[in-house]
Structure 1
């Protein structure tokens, strides 16, 4: 009996030992899996086309700025880092244990090498690129914070600020272009590189075919008249045709899921640009719709020429001063809403009703466009088309407004003040004072 009892005891001990070994193996496998998941989540910034940009700072911030590392870490190493370090050391012949996270990242056999082997990363061009990305991300956070702060500021008022998205008429949603293929919504603002951004949206959505019957792949191949043809784009105001009574509900779903962006510009410089392109160049449509009313109200011409050709031949063109008068005249808005080329951005894109993920500026167009395409993982498809050389410069502002009476300038600023404030443009004190 004693021998049988001893035998059973030995079997129990062996079973427990095997169970313990099995648990150790399973626990080790679980920890390895946990490490892989951990590095997959925080090792790099991956953006999903169909979701908004991450609101958190990039993961490499803590690695490059030790002061940002959590206080729970010991000598720069978190618990996971320490485990990973021992895991790596056990898999290599190296006996030197680095003392800081920075040394681990720099060491040939450290985390970088481990990730590079596992995930195929190329770490050779890390520093300058990531510093540039970080700078741009911080700028974006500042722009969005400024916009949200003033939208939430109860002491800052302007028309339509406090209305709900449901209260925006469909006809005022015609500037929101939707690309369902990549989950992107772009609100275009005329005179802010919108021609080229519309070209990009056509390529992404494959909404237009070239002469060979295939979607365009190069934005610059798309003709200007096709770019501005409303049939080339799916906009929010067309949703009622597709979704009927569910159109507003579908808009809200896409606004929540998709990445939303717009590009803006100094409001006064944008006005100068609009005047130059629509009144200093021969444009029959704009002459009949806007130049004739301006000349009739504010010039000494008794017989205004009926066509743009005759007007340009005889010198009957509105001046910039007359254009400003037209904008300030109460009859203008009463008879017809501002044309999109000089309508305020807050009326075009509804920034207090729509939470934009990216705010680009024409003043930093090249950098912002590159950053946006990179964050959307589209930079490998194409580059943003180069901007026009004949761009209206901000330095021209004082010259253009020098002949405008001070009172008009101040009234004009009040008209466009929401755009200045919401998008972080400083008040042009040099123009608004004597």
Structure 2
């Protein structure tokens, strides 16, 4: 059954990626993608591990669209809400609805999508071989700041119970942290960005549980040394990259990727955010995210790390 389905897709989607991709994508973008994928190959050299040895939890971020032959590995805080909106829209009948018609609080429900882990091992192998696989990445420190703004300053019950109370007790040395979520919101008790960094670099954090996905390293979510991605997009060029990807998928005339709004967490503001973080903690933080910087072509932020 899977074999038959894949054959149906092959004529429509896959040949242009190998030999005829030039029909759809400009030479500039061909070269850009070549450089991004060459960088992955360079930094993945020597990795001796099979994707098929990973357990199901490692495949939680791989969304499968069988109708269009797509596998999208989503990374929180890297436009994943709008990509999920777009994939939900593509599940509807043509003409596809506006992706923005789907509310953000609805698109993250687990039953909205089929994930790679839901398929048998032979099906996974077939889809990974034949489907168009893509991900979008972001400067690791900018992504971290965005996670702090979203989950530490505007937290909900889940983040309060699991993270806020621990951070406040451990690094603000507050002994009277309210047990009830609403009590803390009323008194506006929130961890500082330095408190958040302290939590991440603390060896106890990773020892007792993997990082929460909003600040887990991107390579640990999407395994770029194990999955050979067809397209690597960057948040910094989101609209242009999204348009090129839709061209590759032959969907540019069928659906529009939602417009991006002004990013409140810009690269130029990173220095300001780190002013209150001691250089020792900055360096520890960089070591934790160093592989993301290297794999995805982001420069080492020397202005933050060097005396």
Residue number among 48, 51, 58 corresponding to 1:162 in the alignment: 48
Task: Indicate if the aligned counterparts of 2:36 and 2:232 stay in contact, CA closer than 8 A.
Answer: yes
Task: Indicate if the aligned counterparts of 1:282 and 1:309 stay in contact, CA closer than 8 A.
Answer: no
Structure 2 match to 1:119: none
Secondary structure class of the residue paired with 1:177: strand
1:237 lines up with 2:117 in the alignment? yes
Structure 2 match to 1:151: 44
Task: Indicate if the aligned counterparts of 1:282 and 1:308 stay in contact, CA closer than 8 A.
Answer: no
- Whole-angstrom distance in 1 between the partners of 2:16 and 2:82: 23
Structure 2 match to 1:193: 79
- Whole-angstrom distance in 2 between the partners of 1:379 and 1:321: 43
Task: Indicate if the aligned counterparts of 1:47 and 1:375 stay in contact, CA closer than 8 A.
Answer: no
- Whole-angstrom distance in 2 between the partners of 1:236 and 1:51: 23
Q: How does 1:187-226 map to 2 (within 5 A)?
A: 187-206=73-92, 217-226=97-106
Task: Indicate if the aligned counterparts of 2:96 and 2:255 stay in contact, CA closer than 8 A.
Answer: no
C-alpha deviation, 1:55, in angstroms: 6.1
Report which of the two structures shows the higher radius of gyration computed on alpha carbons.
Answer: 1
Task: Indicate if the aligned counterparts of 2:81 and 2:104 stay in contact, CA closer than 8 A.
Answer: yes
Structure 2 match to 1:80: none
Structure 2 match to 1:358: 231
C-alpha deviation, 1:352, in angstroms: 0.5
C-alpha deviation, 1:217, in angstroms: 2.0
- Whole-angstrom distance in 2 between the partners of 1:433 and 1:251: 44
Change (3 A) 1:396 1:55: farther
Task: Indicate if the aligned counterparts of 1:47 and 1:376 stay in contact, CA closer than 8 A.
Answer: no
Residue number among 108, 112, 119 corresponding to 1:228 in the alignment: 108
Change (3 A) 1:427 1:55: farther
Q: Cα RMSD (Å) of the superposition?
A: 2.2
1:178 lines up with 2:64 in the alignment? yes
- Whole-angstrom distance in 1 between the partners of 2:198 and 2:269: 20
- Whole-angstrom distance in 2 between the partners of 1:215 and 1:291: 44
- Whole-angstrom distance in 1 between the partners of 2:91 and 2:291: 32
Task: Indicate if the aligned counterparts of 2:135 and 2:229 stay in contact, CA closer than 8 A.
Answer: yes
- Whole-angstrom distance in 1 between the partners of 2:303 and 2:271: 8
Change (3 A) 1:285 1:55: farther
Task: Indicate if the aligned counterparts of 1:177 and 1:187 stay in contact, CA closer than 8 A.
Answer: yes
C-alpha deviation, 1:300, in angstroms: 2.4
Structure 1: 5+ residue runs without aligned partners?
A: 1-45, 60-129, 155-160, 240-246
Structure 1 match to 2:217: 344
Change (3 A) 1:51 1:167: farther
Q: How does 1:5-24 map to 2 (within 5 A)?
A: none
Q: How does 1:17-36 map to 2 (within 5 A)?
A: none
Q: Deviations over 1:67-108 (max 9, x none)?
A: xxxxxxxxxxxxxxxxxxxxxxxxxxxxxxxxxxxxxxxxxx
1:407 lines up with 2:287 in the alignment? no
TM-score, normalised with respect to structure 2: 0.91
Task: Indicate if the aligned counterparts of 1:51 and 1:257 stay in contact, CA closer than 8 A.
Answer: no
Q: How does 1:269-418 map to 2 (within 5 A)?
A: 269-418=142-291
Structure 2 match to 1:263: 136
1:134 lines up with 2:20 in the alignment? no
C-alpha deviation, 1:225, in angstroms: 2.2
- Whole-angstrom distance in 1 between the partners of 2:42 and 2:277: 33
Change (3 A) 1:256 1:353: same
C-alpha deviation, 1:282, in angstroms: 4.1
- Whole-angstrom distance in 2 between the partners of 1:329 and 1:47: 51
Q: Deviations over 1:20-54 (max 9, x none)?
A: xxxxxxxxxxxxxxxxxxxxxxxxxx984246722
Change (3 A) 1:411 1:376: same
Task: Indicate if the aligned counterparts of 1:52 and 1:259 stay in contact, CA closer than 8 A.
Answer: no
Task: With a CA cutoff of 8 Å and minimum separation of 6, indicate the structure with the bigger relative contact order.
Answer: 2
C-alpha deviation, 1:307, in angstroms: 3.2
Task: Indicate if the aligned counterparts of 1:52 and 1:257 stay in contact, CA closer than 8 A.
Answer: no
